[in-house]
Amino acid sequence: MTAGVGDDVKMTCSRNDVGSLFWIKINTENVPQFLGGTSFPGGVDPRITTVKEHGTFVLHIKKTKLSDTGIYHCIKVRHNLIFLKGADLRVKGKYIQTKLSDFFFMILVISILTCNI
């Protein structure tokens, strides 16, 4: 899944069986980060929330940042850990596009100034 910087992202996980569900993120350092659970409040980032909806457990990420890039997993805990759903989120910035447009604008200005001399 790909999102742009500032986009809102929604991931869902089915919650039909008995057991607690959790969303975690595995970042580039391979360290799991707890994001929220069906019975526990979310993590420390207020942009990232979890909510139980009809038949699903939802992870919302508001105003994505480049640092939100990572692998997200919905995990069910009953007698053991069961990885239910995973998503690879890649957040792409607009830096290159902006810089290229600035570059072409600068070339246009130089061309106009050069022609007027």
Q: Tokens representing 11?
A: 């991931």
Cα distances from 68 to residues 2, 16, 55, 56, 73, in angstroms, run: 11, 28, 26, 22, 13
Q: Which domain holds residue 63?
A: 2-116
Cα distances from 93 to residues 27, 54, 114, in angstroms, run: 18, 33, 33
pTM of the predicted model, to two decimals? 0.70
Q: What pLDDT digit, counting tens, does each position of 27-80 carry?
A: 767 678 889 888 877 777 889 999 888 888 899 999 999 888 888 888 888 776
For residue 24, give the amino acid letter. I
Cα(117)–Cα(106) distance, integer angstroms: 17
- The more confidently predicted of residues 57 and 105 is 57
Query: So what's the pLDDT on residue 64?
Result: 92
CATH number, domain of 108, equals 2.60.40.10
Query: So what's the pLDDT on residue 31?
Result: 76
- The more confidently predicted of residues 16 and 53 is 53
Query: So what's the pLDDT on residue 55?
Result: 87
Q: Tokens representing 32?
A: 């799991």
Total domains in the fold of the chain: 1
Residue 113 has pLDDT above 50, yes or no: yes
Alpha helices for the chain (secondary structure H): 95-116
